[in-house]
Structure 1
Amino acid sequence: MSIVASFFNNRLKISLRQERAVLLVCTLIALLFWFFVKLSKSYRSEYVFDVIYLLPDEEAFLDNPPAQLNATVEGEGWDLLHFSLFNPRSPLIFDLRDFDLPSLDRRYLIDRLQRKVVASNVRIADLREDLINLSYEKKVSKKVPVRASLDLQFAPEHHLRGAVGIEPDSVELTGPVSLIDPIEQWRTDSTQLEALQKDVQVELPLARPQQEVIQIEPALVTVTVPVETFVEKTFLFVPVLIKNAPDSISIFPSTVKIVCVVGMSHYNEVSATDFTVEADLQGISPR
């Protein structure tokens, strides 16, 4: 009896496995059929096309045109899938070296894009850009001095020892002549340096131009801030000089004390002879 039961159990398991396999195959066939039906319908998809503009070497844009075009592409699912997977990502090129084209309107852009995708059996249904302005003019280069935008805060009894150094002290600007000509200098990004008590050297980026068509070379400069300790130095007997006074007038005291603050590097260079104290008595009557 147990042998018969075991035989029927094994047959039942085999039958269940076969039914599951058949069900799985049927499900896969249904999914493939559904997939083919879906791909045979028409769809729309967003697509980005890269753009390159070729200008004569002596010209520059007044405002950079867009580097990409955002288009709606329409076609059957199969064609859109093939277009997305196998369409070469070569950019759309507008060569302005041989003809003067002040702008690219919507109709012209769609026509150029359609010619690019015609082999893929899809069409350009819509384009986000309405007009691309291509204003450009003569390109020039100009060297201008660099100015450091610094907020310097010193530690107590410390100050600048000399002028702030900038290397290189000038940069080259390149762009359209109407934007470059008025520029007389170029500043670094604003930077704050705190508690300065010794020389500091930092690399600072140059301020970004408001117009992206302006190119700056180099983009970084090295700024050196010379710092030293300042101390008090006292001169006790500096004579007072009298101007416009009668011979009969004398003053008291005839010398004064001067206290100055001087950097340590110049401490021994400063003497009493560097100071003049004058009393101008013109228009003053003795009582």
Structure 2
Amino acid sequence: MKNRINRLVLKVSNGKIRFSEKAYIFLLCLLLSTFFWFLSSLSDIYTTTLSVKLKYNSLDESFILTEEPPKQLSFKARSSGFELLGEQLSLNRNEVEVNLQDAKSEKNNRFFILTSVVKPSIREELDADIELLDLESDTLWLSTEERLKKKVKVIPQVDLSFKSAYKLRSKIELNPKTVEVLGPKSFIDSLLEIKTVLYKAKNIDDSIKVKLKLIAPANVNGFRIEPEEVDILIPVEKYTEKQLTVPVKVNNEMSQNLIIRTFPDEVELTFLVPISKFNSLSASRLDAVVDYNKESSKSQKLKISLQNLPDYAVLRKIEPERVEYIIRK
């Protein structure tokens, strides 16, 4: 029996085993019969489950949805197989609007909408030959929260490296420095800042202007930043070394009858300054100060602190860092 089947289905040609002509005819007949059976089945009446996409609108501006509402609604429908198959394809391309003004309050910012409200809209989407039976859910649940708006500061995130002798001339400039954020009150209340995406640059030898997007927090429904990006200026300049001699000043002398004298009475200061500001930094605008009251009574030297140093200058060295002193009447 097995050999007979093999002879009907297979044949040998040029040493190769192939399907016989009878096998191909059999497969063709099988495919045609399956196809006609499928067409015949589609003409029968069926009850099946279809689904429609939902679109929500008309939410009060003072509230925000804190959880994703149901995105689709399933329902039972009855019609021929042809109609049901084509209808689901059509429903996949359309949406049924859900008016949030129809929502009813339960408690704690929980609302619900009876699906019977949207049933007429679903029926309008269906072909006239399709009978809408039951909706699989009788209620759409919604979670809302008060919407809050406030301004927060922007924090730039940068990873920079400079060519030799080049540095930031001043702080990175932002425009705007603050942005407006909108979102659920429980989240916005504790939000203090918004960061930019990370900006990386190497071997910098000139100022950089760039727009950076702001990072919105993940998984916070209804969160929005206005504007969504900021302009950033990274001021860069070549620096050079500058030395100044500054007299030592004494703060908080012991009394009017007692005078503190330091040795030496001047200190040498070494700075790095931008070339454009080289002549702007002078000894007259700087104060090298000692404070007797901040030192231990056993200390034989007073520490020098520098005051009124402009932002663009970088102090490299104070020589000496501490000075000897005597107290005279």
Same fold, judged at TM 0.5 (above): yes
1:258 aligned counterpart, secondary structure? strand
Question: Aligned AA for 1:77?
Answer: G
Correspondences of 1:247-258 after superposition (within 5 Å): 255-258=266-269
Q: 1:232 aligns with which of 205, 216, 241?
A: 241
- The residue number in structure 1 matching 2:62 is 59
Question: Aligned AA for 1:179?
Answer: F
**CA displacement 1:211-247 (0-9 Å, x = unmatched):** 1311222211111111111211123x44455777x99
- The residue number in structure 2 matching 1:259 is 270
Q: Distance in 1 between matches of 2:154 and 2:259?
A: 59
Q: 1:271 aligns with which of 254, 276, 282?
A: 282
**CA displacement 1:127-180 (0-9 Å, x = unmatched):** 6x9985412244343333322223333333222212322223332222343433
- The residue number in structure 1 matching 2:164 is 156
- The residue number in structure 2 matching 1:96 is 100
Instruction: Point out where structure 2 has 5 or more consecutive residues left out of the alignment.
Output: 1-28, 106-110, 301-325
Q: Does 1:189 align with 2:197?
A: yes
What is the deviation of 1:84?
Answer: 3.6
Q: Does 1:40 align with 2:43?
A: yes
Instruction: Point out where structure 1 has 5 or more consecutive residues left out of the alignment.
Output: 1-25
C-alpha change, 1:255 and 1:182, in structure 2 (3 Å) is: closer
Q: Distance in 2 between matches of 1:188 and 1:203?
A: 10
What is the deviation of 1:207?
Answer: 0.8
Q: Distance in 2 between matches of 1:138 and 1:278?
A: 55
Decide whether the 8 Å contact of 1:173 with 1:216 is kept in 2. Answer: yes
1:269 aligned counterpart, secondary structure? coil
C-alpha change, 1:108 and 1:59, in structure 2 (3 Å) is: farther
Q: Distance in 2 between matches of 1:169 and 1:141?
A: 17
Decide whether the 8 Å contact of 1:59 with 1:176 is kept in 2. Answer: no
Q: Distance in 1 between matches of 2:150 and 2:260?
A: 64
C-alpha change, 1:279 and 1:80, in structure 2 (3 Å) is: closer
Question: How well do the aligned residues superpose, as a CA RMSD in angstroms?
Answer: 4.3
What is the deviation of 1:104?
Answer: 5.5
Aligned length: 260
Correspondences of 1:1-287 after superposition (within 5 Å): 30=33, 33-40=36-43, 49-66=52-69, 68-69=71-72, 71=74, 76-86=80-90, 89-101=93-105, 102-103=111-112, 115=123, 117=126, 119-121=128-130, 133-210=141-218, 211-235=220-244, 237-240=245-248, 255-277=266-288, 283=297
1:265 aligned counterpart, secondary structure? helix
What is the deviation of 1:267?
Answer: 0.9
Decide whether the 8 Å contact of 1:234 with 1:259 is kept in 2. Answer: yes
Instruction: Please report the TM-score for the alignment, with normalisation by the length of structure 1.
Output: 0.67
Structure with the bigger percentage of strand: 2
Structure with the bigger percentage of helix: 1
Q: Distance in 2 between matches of 1:104 and 1:249?
A: 83
Query: Whose RCO is larger (CA < 8 A, sep 6+)?
Result: 1
C-alpha change, 1:203 and 1:247, in structure 2 (3 Å) is: closer
